[in-house]
Structure 1
Amino acid sequence: MPSARRLAHEFLHRRGLTTIFGNPGSNELPFLAELPDDFRYVLGLHEGAVVGMADGYAQATGRPVLVNLHAAAGSGNAMGALTNAVYSRSPLVLTAGQQVRAAIGMEAMLANVDATQLMRPLAVWSGEPSCAEDVPRSLAQAVFEAELHRGPSYLSVPYDDWGAELDANASITLDRSVSRGLAPNEAQLDELAKSVAAAKNPALVLGGDLDATGLFDRAVALAEHLGLPTWVAPSPHRLPFPNRHPLFRGVLPAGIAPVSDALTGHDIVLVLGAPVFRYHQYVPGAYLPEGTRLVQVTDDVGAAARAPMGEALVADPAPVIEALLARVPARTSPSGFTANPEPKAGTTALHPEQVFAALRETQLDDTRYVVESTSTNSAWWRQLDLRREGSYFFPAAGGLGFGLPAAVGVALGSPDRPVVGVIGDGSANYGITALWTAAHYRVPVTFVILRNGVYGALQWFGELLGTPDVPGTEIPGLDFTAIAAGYGVSATTVTDLDHLHTELKTIPDGPRLIQVDTEPTSPE
């Protein structure tokens, strides 16, 4: 009779979950034993980096990915990074080792007490098999929950379960499949199409879900067909529209009043694949301008239910886009792409705009950028020219520590496209151990570290909140070239544009780090 471990490995193989990101402890070793030759185990040195890498990998591939954590302590270390995976809707299947069943109740060392509660409310589902015979079914449920809800699931398994021999009933799980469909009906599509066609000044707001589900090009086609001014929803973790397109109006600000101001004059605002809205700084005001109707289309039930305004249609945006293309008459649309402005120049160091302009001028058009430099947002959108799907990744919950690990995960998940991580010096320290993984697996990724010696976004928020004199906002004395060398990553420091261009033009055959001293800037 097959063991629970063998059935689990076979189920994962059939579902394509053969890449495992992890940092194992004693409780996890029985699951990892006898791992088939076609499985790949990617070791991270801290669970936060492990989840960040898996998040990037899942976003790059569009598929679920398995994460192996160590009991309660390892799961706890992963929770900060997990907040980003929740809001990027990444289907991570988190597994954690549990003490042997006989030792859980007495809370032996490494027992995961109340394991099913530990990761809630972050996990879309959390479970622990009731017995060894239930392990294959529970693992299948964890995978299906992550796929169906597009979010992280969590399964704790007592380590003595893996060696248990199971009967034929357990093998039936191997052949299971679960699929999801959220198609709007004809009446809903007709009503929406008529509303958009009748509008005098409609507008389009797109969310990261469109890029995550392969709808980048179709969203562009819709905007061009209808000639709609197009915004990206606030706090984007993906870019669903080319930012140099003549219809692009920018990323909506992350405050209530500024969003309302931006949408003034539009009689209908169609929001596709985004929450309504993910605000950040609290700037109170009217949610919508007078006379503006908002219609949200999303397959995220929670996002639809918690929105404070507008109408929501819970549906896959894909058939909605196709229906609008087919049912609403075309309008005139501008052509061509807008020019890039001259980058601002720094006085004591390079301005971030100069760095971003150098990236635009030297990197291939299909480069994927993983960005975690929160104080340079405005400089980023002024200088970059992104026209391809899957070109931009940002920590979806704003949780620092995403950038370095996610860049490694994105590169592992998309070896056919170049990957550049653009990371602030404050952010880099949260996921610094990802450098070892990049070096160990020879991942061809470029890390550009913007070193300004401060938490720039925090200083900006201090001004916004009227608290400019708080401690803990400066971080001088960091040398990322020395840190990178210690982890086995080649690194260099650049201080002028010519040197920066020279370094960026070099095609890496493994990981490299470029440290650039930059002037502090604010997000706006």
Structure 2
Amino acid sequence: MPSVRRVSHEFLERQGLTTVFGNPGSNELPFLAGLPDGFRYVLGLHEGAVVGMADGYAQATGRPVLVNLHAASGSGNAMGALTNAVASRTPLVVVAGQQVRPAIGPEANLASVDAPALMKPLVGWAAEPACAGDVPRALAQAVFEARLQRRPTYLSVPYDDWSADVDDNALAVLDRRVLRAAVPGGEQRRWLVEQVASARRPALVLGGDIDSAGRFDDAVRLAERLGGPVWAAPSQFRLPFPNRHPLFRGVLPAGIAPVSAAFEGHDLVLVLGAPVFRYHEHLPGRYLPEGTRLIQVTEDASAAARAPMGEALVADPGAVIDILLEALGAADRPAGPYRPVPEPLTAEGPALHPEQVFAALREEMPEDTAYVVESTSTNAAWWRQTDLRRQGSYYFPAAGGLGFGLPGAVGVAMAQPGRPVVGVIGDGSANYGITALWTAAQHRVPLTVVLLRNGAYGALRWFGGLLGVPDAPGLDIPGLDFTRIAEGYGVRAQHVGSVAELRAALAETPEHPRLIQVDTALTTPS
């Protein structure tokens, strides 16, 4: 009779989940025994970095990825990073080890009591199989749920289950497929086309799902046909539109009142592939201006259900783009030239202004470079200096929790070895995922990390001013030298002190991971 482990490994192999990101403990070793030759285990030194790397890898490949965590402690360590994966709708399949079944009730050491409840409500589905024979089916459900929901799932498996025998019925899972079609039907199609075609002043809001689904260029064609302004949805984790395109107005502010003000004068706001809306700053007001109608198209049924206003169509936004392009035809006239990039600001003293760093990246790195950005205090400088025109050019921590940037950059670089990848990381956020440097070194990932060192939690200083608490403690982090830290993990590092040195360093094509530390002046996100 085949074992649970053998059937599960074969199922994962058939589904393409052969790259496993993990940090195992004793409970997980029986699952890892006898991994087939085609599997690759990517070890991370902390569970937060493990999930961050898997998040970046899954986003870059567009496919579910297996994550291997250790019982309750490892799962708990990973939950902060998991919030970003949830917000970016990343299909992670988290499999955690559990004590042997007789030891769970007495709460033996390393038993995870009510393991599925631990990860709720973060994950889209969580379970612990009722018996060993149900493990292959439950594993398949975890994979299919992650793929269908585009959300992490969680499966806790007692470690004695993996060696148990299963009957022939368990083999039925090997040939399973679960497909989804989300193209609007005839009546829905007609309604949507009528609403868009009849709008006098339409505006378009695009979410990260547009870039995740590979519809970046199609979104440009639709925007140019509509001819109205284009915004990226608030709290953006991917860039769904070229940021210097003449129709692009930037990322919507994350407050109710300023969002409403942005839509003033527009009779229709079409939101594709985004929640409505992920507000952040509490700036109350009307959701929409008088006379403005909002239509949201999203595959995320939960996002459609919880929206406080507008009409929603649960469908594939890419399919809707195709429908609208077919119905409306090509643009009447060219959109015009892309906006030029302004001269970078400079700073007083020896430190560089972040704009000088980003200008150097724009001019020295190839145009198809993918940037994983986690330097929130330099947000305004970033958008002033970048010119991103390719799909998959930008990744950002979706939930705002620090620790995605460095691991995410490693994951993206591992997923796309033929594309240049740069992690733009602040010194405050780097510490949350610093162990990912070791994984990058071990796998010789050709990644460039540009470490911006300003000695403070710059975004928090800005928020302190907004909230009336400028004297809050714990905002300064002096004395960090990331070149020495990186070298300790096996990553080549250098500290550059001028724009010329930075440009010279960036001009080199890395074959292995490298870290470039540059001191920057303190700036604000906006």
SS in 2 for 1:360: helix
Helix, strand or coil at the partner of 2:431: helix
Which one-letter code corresponds to 2:343 in the other structure?
E
- What residue in structure 2 maps to residue 413 of structure 1? 415
Report the residue type matching 1:341 in the other structure. Answer: P
- CA–CA separation in structure 2 for the residues paired with 1:143 and 1:200: 44
Counterpart in 1 of 2:338? 337
Superposition deviation, residue 331 in structure 1: 4.0
* TM-fit CA distance, 1:306: 1.0
Normalised to the residue count of structure 1, the TM-score between the two structures is 0.99
1:4-23 to 2 correspondences below 5 Å: 4-23=4-23
Distance (whole Å) between structure 2 residues aligned to residue 204 and residue 142 of structure 1 = 34
State TM-score, norm by structure 2: 0.98
Count of matched residue positions in the alignment of Structure 1 and Structure 2:
524
Helix, strand or coil for the counterpart of 2:294? Answer: strand
Map 1:198-347 → 2, pairs under 5 A: 198-328=198-328, 330-347=331-348
**Unpaired segments of 5 or more residues in structure 2?**
none
Report the counterpart of residue 102 of structure 2 in structure 1.
102
Q: 2:479 matched to 1:511?
A: no
State, as a whole percentage, how many aligned pairs show the same letter.
71
Aligned to 2:126: 126
Could you tell me how far apart the structure 1 residues matched to 2:213 and 2:114 are? 35
Counterpart residue type for residue 491 of structure 1 = A
CA distance in 2: counterparts of 1:371 and 1:145, whole angstroms: 29
1:458 to 447, 457, 460: 460
Structure 1, residues 465-493: CA drift from partner, whole Å, max 9, x if none? 11111101111111000110111101011
Give the C-alpha shift of residue 333 in structure 1: 4.1
Letter in 2 for 1:494: V
1:324 CA displacement: 1.1
- Look up the match of 1:361: 363
2:241 partner SS: coil
Partners in 1 of 2:132 and 2:170 — Cα distance?
Answer: 10
SS of the aligned residue for 2:112 comes to coil
Q: Which amino acid is 1:340 matched to? A: V
Pair 1:2 & 2:17 matched: no
Q: CA deviation at 1:358?
A: 0.5
Distance 1:289 1:350 in 2: 42
Cα deviation 1:161-184 (Å, max 9, x = unaligned): 111111111111111111112221
* Alignment of 1:472 onto 2:469: no
Provide the C-alpha distance between the structure 1 equivalents of 2:445 and 2:427, rounded to a whole number of angstroms: 21
Who is 1:92 aligned against? 92
Tell whether the 8 Å contact from 1:136 to 1:170 is kept in structure 2 after alignment: yes
Q: Tell me the CA shift for residue 398 of structure 1.
A: 0.5
Structure 1, 444-453 or 306-315: larger mean CA deviation: 306-315
Runs (5+) with no aligned partner, structure 1: none
Note the C-alpha offset of 1:332: 3.4
Runs of 4+ in 1 over 4 A off after TM superposition: none
Q: Which amino acid aligns with 1:369?
A: Y
What CA RMSD, in Å, does the superposition of the two structures yield over aligned residues?
A: 0.9
Separation in 2 of the partners of 1:199 and 1:389?
A: 28
Deviations 1:501-521 (A, max 9, x none): 000111111000001100111
Give me the whole-angstrom Cα distance separating, in 2, the residues matched to 1:199 and 1:111: 59
The code of the aligned residue for 1:211 comes to D
Distance between the aligned counterparts of 1:332 and 1:304, measured in 2? Answer: 34
CA shift for structure 1 position 14: 0.2
Partner of 1:431, secondary structure, is coil
Is 2:36 the counterpart of 1:36? yes
Match of 1:391 among 368, 390, 393: 393
Instruction: Give the secondary-structure state (helix, strand or coil) at the position aligned to 2:429.
Output: helix
What secondary structure, in the 3-state scheme, does the structure 1 residue paired with 2:474 have?
Answer: coil
1:81 alignment counterpart: 81
Post-superposition CA distance 1:137-168 (Å, at most 9, x none): 11101101101110100000000011111111
The structural deviation recorded for 1:310 is 1.1
CA apart distance, 1:328: 2.3
Contact 1:82 1:122 in 2 (8 A): yes
Structure 1 residue identity aligned to 2:310: G
Tell me if structure 1 keeps the 8 A contact 2:375–2:424: yes
C-alpha distance in 1, partners of 2:444/2:152? 28
- For residues 322 and 58 of structure 1, what CA distance do their matches in structure 2 show? 25
| Greater CA drift, 226-235 or 115-124 | 226-235
The 10-residue stretch of structure 1 (308-317 or 389-398) with the greater mean CA deviation from structure 2: 308-317
**Which digits, 9 at most, give the CA deviation of each residue in 1:27-63, with x for residues without a partner?**
0000000011110000000000000000000000000
